């Protein structure tokens, strides 16, 4: 699954965004929110997020079984951890 998010014009505060991310994108049923530009089911088991963020950095976060709990708790910290592992 590929999901494109645009947070640049979103007014959602970061703690609420973290909660929304897990609830709307990491459960079995994906339920888009205001910042969702599009979703594509590519048949891959992992979920790849393309995030246009408020800080001007385009982020790519790949969520699979190995980091699902981390991403559910905080997509931003999961992204930072993924960047450190590169």
> Which alpha helices (DSSP H) does 1-43 contain, by range?
14-25
pLDDT at position 9: 85
Confidence class for position 71, pLDDT limits 50, 70, 90: very high
Q: Which of 86, 75, 85 is nearest to 7 (CA)?
A: 75
Boundaries of every domain in the chain? 2-84
pLDDT at position 33: 87
The residue assigned the tokens 């590519």 is 42
The residue assigned the tokens 């992204």 is 79
pLDDT at position 70: 96
Q: Which of 83, 60, 77 is nearest to 14 (CA)?
A: 77
pLDDT tens profile 5-62: 999 988 888 888 898 899 999 998 899 888 999 999 999 999 999 999 999 999 999 9
């Amino acid at each position: 699954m590929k999901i494109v998010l645009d947070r640049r014009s979103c007014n959602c505060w970061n703690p609420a965004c973290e909660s929304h991310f897990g609830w709307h994108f990491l459960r079995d049923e994906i339920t888009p929110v205001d910042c969702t530009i599009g979703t594509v089911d590519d048949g891959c088991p992992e979920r790849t997020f393309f995030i246009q963020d408020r800080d001007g950095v385009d982020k790519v976060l790949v969520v699979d079984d190995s980091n699902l709990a981390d991403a559910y708790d905080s997509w931003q910290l999961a992204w930072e951890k993924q960047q450190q592992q590169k």
